[in-house]
């Protein structure tokens, strides 16, 4: 050994001895750096827009999955994601992973494969009856038992009379979903409910006091519910020209309501509903939260007058009576053949724009900032099977990340199943129509993305920053059991090599990850999703063995590096030091 090396080593040992450190010269690991005293994570106050939806927050423990060794990429790193587990953005509301069901997909409780997949997915909250049907839904009647004050015909937006087409909650036919089987489905899937009561009945009822009649119908549902449901909403998109009750027949109305609904009228009526429903809840000794509808964005210049004053009217008349605000969004332009890049870009922008608009809308007067619930969301893109594609699944994961980041309290995607319509289908599961070439209840790609997002996302969101490529998005989290995770999304069309650096974290031995990519069918809108290379047996969806597929794993020593293919997502968790 040359003298100069002996001198260097001696100096190193002497320095260490002065600091009372014991030197192990057998192994020196220089990457990743050892964090001796990581910063204590902050615990931010619960945002008002999340509010009581976080009352049910629970700590999460990560379970180490079965795994197989995977080689780290050897190509040069193109993007760096830096995670700091000491900088907590928010606790994660379990209610942002919700979904919608509806009364036209069958009784559900007899559909074993569907129920098992929903239970594994764990949406946590499922809305009912949802959609426009809420405005013509008579929850406590059997089929054909139209209430005496419910007119046989209603007016559409143009003022033309048409059959009302009421739906009934005690209809036990196999093609529909009854109220009782909705409750049974919630129990089977270990979910809670959010129920939309029929506000439009307050508009078209021919009774002497239609608002009281409709509020009484809603309060009776609260009594029948008997404490099973905490979250309720009054009406569905009641501002919409497409909605029953938007326009009423003045010759049948007995309380001098205007022909066209306004936000102020809805706000005034909301207080009657809330009063009746909360009195019913008090009678049975339970607490409920009732939401009011708002518009999620500033109305366009061509919007109807109703929309242009909706939010202001609701706030002015309802005041602080609502417990939370409700919005809906289908993100992309209506009935437009949007491309993949445009769809994916809406996930960040629209989610933030909506929460900003709702906050701004309530700043006038003495209105309290309330929790926000996005009780319907999806994409409107049509024409290329966008809704049933892997891109729709990627979009869903972006939305989930942004919902958490922007402190939404609750969200429920539309919907569990719908109807194929040549691929313009919002359903998470196929109904097995012949045109789809798919089997009944086969999950669409969005199912797998939402499953892995929740499975690999902790109970707190922490900060993450991206350097190197604007197509990469990252959402990071920590588990109360100590692990750190990252969802890394590649919106672009070329593979990126990503290194993940985790600050204020004592790393363990391994990191585990799943890579979800599309197939080579249907251009940029593949109907397939491959999980660590495992694809579906049929022409759409993903592998039936998704819950038992081994994770890829690699050693943290030397750095956390992953290859993220074009239009794909990696869901990753790093072990803590034991």
Note whether 361 and 505 are same-domain residues. Answer: no
Note whether 147 and 86 are same-domain residues. Answer: no
Closest by CA position to 168, among listed 202, 207, 137, 199: 137
Per-residue model confidence (pLDDT) at position 367: 86
Domain count, the chain: 2
Cis upstream peptide for 440 (omega within 30°): no
**Count of alpha carbons within 13 Å of 269, Cβ hemisphere only?**
31
* CATH number for position 267: 3.20.20.80
CB atoms closer than 10 angstroms to residue 284: 13
Note whether 19 and 64 are same-domain residues. Answer: yes
DSSP helix/strand/coil, 343: helix
| Final residue belonging to a domain, choices 455, 483, 515 | 455
Note whether 275 and 395 are same-domain residues. Answer: yes
> Which residue do the tokens 């489905």 mark?
185
CA angle (245 as vertex; 240, 248 as ends), nearest 5: 120
Note whether 266 and 326 are same-domain residues. Answer: yes
Q: Please report whether residue 1 resides in a domain.
A: no
Per-residue model confidence (pLDDT) at position 17: 37
Sequence-ordered list of residues with C-beta below 8 angstroms from that of 523, at least 6 positions apart, any chain: 384
3-state helix, strand, coil in the chain (%, to 5): 30, 25, 50
* CATH number for position 25: 2.60.40.1180
Radius of gyration over alpha carbons of the chain, in Å?
27
% of residues, the chain, pLDDT over 70: 93
Question: What burial class does residue 87 get, using C-beta atoms within 10 Å of its C-beta: 0-12 exposed, 13-18 middle, 19+ buried?
Answer: middle
Phi and psi at residue 498, to the nearest 5°: -115, 130
- Report in angstroms the alpha-carbon separations of 520 from 77, 190, 383: 26, 36, 18
Per-residue model confidence (pLDDT) at position 35: 54
The rounded distance, in Å, linking the Cα atoms of 291 and 321 is 9
Q: Please report whether residue 104 resides in a domain.
A: yes
Q: Please report whether residue 2 resides in a domain.
A: no
Q: Please report whether residue 121 resides in a domain.
A: yes
Note whether 296 and 411 are same-domain residues. Answer: yes
Cis upstream peptide for 37 (omega within 30°): no
Note whether 207 and 234 are same-domain residues. Answer: yes
Tokens of 407: 């402190």
Phi and psi at residue 182, to the nearest 5°: -60, -50
Q: Please report whether residue 178 resides in a domain.
A: yes
Residue range(s) defining the domain that contains residue 209:
94-455
The rounded distance, in Å, linking the Cα atoms of 163 and 153 is 4
Note whether 180 and 303 are same-domain residues. Answer: yes
The rounded distance, in Å, linking the Cα atoms of 326 and 37 is 43
| Final residue belonging to a domain, choices 433, 455, 477 | 455
Note whether 60 and 165 are same-domain residues. Answer: no
Identify the bridge partners of residue 530 per DSSP, sorted by sequence position. Answer: 517
| Final residue belonging to a domain, choices 455, 483, 498 | 455
Per-residue model confidence (pLDDT) at position 130: 84
Tokens of 297: 């964005």
Note whether 45 and 182 are same-domain residues. Answer: no
Q: What is the mean pLDDT of each run of 10 residues along the chain (578 residues)?
A: 37 38 35 64 95 97 97 97 98 98 97 98 96 97 97 96 98 98 98 98 98 98 98 98 97 98 98 98 98 97 96 95 98 98 98 96 80 98 98 98 98 98 98 96 98 98 97 98 98 98 97 98 97 97 97 98 98 96
CA angle (477 as vertex; 476, 481 as ends), nearest 5: 150
Per-residue model confidence (pLDDT) at position 364: 66
DSSP output for 406-455: TT-SEEEES-S----GGG----SB----GGGT--TTPBPHHHHHHHHHHH
Note whether 240 and 332 are same-domain residues. Answer: yes
Per-residue model confidence (pLDDT) at position 147: 97
The rounded distance, in Å, linking the Cα atoms of 398 and 351 is 9
Q: Please report whether residue 46 resides in a domain.
A: yes
Question: To which H or E segment does residue 323 belong?
Answer: none
Per-residue model confidence (pLDDT) at position 365: 63
Note whether 568 and 556 are same-domain residues. Answer: yes
Per-residue model confidence (pLDDT) at position 317: 96
């Amino acid at each position: 050994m040359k003298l100069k090396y002996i001198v260097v080593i001696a100096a190193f040992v002497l320095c260490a001895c002065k600091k009372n450190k014991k030197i192990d010269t057998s192994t020196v690991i220089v990457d990743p750096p050892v964090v001796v005293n990581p910063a204590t994570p902050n615990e931010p106050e619960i945002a008002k827009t999340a509010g009581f939806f976080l009352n049910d927050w629970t700590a999460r423990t990560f379970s180490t999955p079965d795994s197989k060794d995977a080689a780290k990429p050897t190509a040069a790193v193109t993007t760096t994601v830096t995670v700091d587990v000491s900088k907590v953005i928010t606790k994660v509301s379990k209610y942002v992973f919700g979904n919608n069901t509806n009364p036209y997909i069958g009784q559900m409780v007899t559909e074993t494969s569907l129920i098992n997949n929903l239970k594994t997915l764990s949406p946590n909250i499922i809305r009912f009856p949802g959609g426009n049907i809420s405005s013509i839904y008579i929850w406590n009647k059997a089929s054909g038992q139209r209430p005496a004050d419910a007119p046989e015909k209603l007016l559409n937006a143009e003022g033309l009379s048409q059959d009302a087409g009421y739906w009934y909650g005690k209809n036990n036919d196999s093609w529909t979903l009854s109220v009782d089987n909705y409750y049974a489905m919630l129990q089977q899937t270990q979910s809670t409910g959010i129920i939309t009561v029929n506000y439009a009945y307050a508009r078209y009822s021919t009774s002497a006091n239609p608002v009281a009649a409709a509020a009484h119908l809603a309060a009776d549902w609260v009594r029948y519910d008997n404490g099973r449901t905490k979250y309720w909403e009054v009406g569905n998109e009641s501002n919409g020209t497409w909605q029953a009750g938007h326009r009423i027949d003045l010759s049948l109305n007995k309380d001098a309501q205007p022909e066209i609904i306004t936000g102020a009228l809805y706000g005034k009526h909301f207080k009657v509903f809330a009063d009746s429903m909360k009195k019913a809840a008090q009678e049975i000794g339970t607490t409920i939260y009732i939401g009011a509808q708002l518009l999620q964005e500033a109305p366009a210049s061509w919007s109807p007058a109703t929309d242009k004053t909706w939010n202001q009217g609701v706030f002015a008349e309802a005041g602080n009576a609502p417990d939370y605000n409700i919005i809906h969004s289908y993100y992309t332009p209506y009935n437009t053949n949007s491309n993949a890049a445009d769809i994916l870009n809406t996930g960040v922008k629209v989610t933030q724009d909506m929460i900003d608009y709702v906050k701004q809308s309530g700043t006038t007067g003495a209105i309290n900032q309330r929790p926000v619930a996005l009780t319907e969301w999806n994409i409107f893109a049509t024409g290329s099977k966008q809704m049933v594609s892997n891109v729709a699944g990627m979009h869903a994961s972006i939305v989930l990340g942004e919902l958490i980041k922007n402190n939404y309290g609750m969200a429920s995607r539309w919907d569990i199943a719908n109807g194929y319509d040549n691929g313009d289908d919002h359903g998470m599961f196929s109904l097995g129509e012949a045109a789809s070439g798919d089997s009944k209840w086969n999950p669409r790609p969005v199912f797998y993305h939402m499953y892995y997002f929740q499975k690999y996302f902790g109970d707190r969101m922490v900060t993450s920053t991206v350097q190197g490529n604007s197509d990469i998005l990252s959402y990071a989290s920590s588990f109360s059991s100590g692990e750190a995770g990252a969802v890394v999304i590649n919106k672009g069309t070329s593979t990126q090599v990503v290194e993940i650096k985790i600050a204020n974290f004592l790393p363990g031995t391994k990191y585990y990850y799943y890579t979800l990519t599309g197939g080579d069918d249907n251009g940029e809108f593949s109907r397939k999703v491959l999980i660590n290379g495992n694809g579906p047996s049929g022409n759409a969806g993903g592998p039936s063995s998704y819950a038992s597929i081994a994770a890829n794993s690699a050693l943290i020593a030397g750095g956390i590096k992953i290859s993220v293919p074009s239009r794909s997502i990696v869901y990753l968790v790093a072990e803590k030091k034991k």
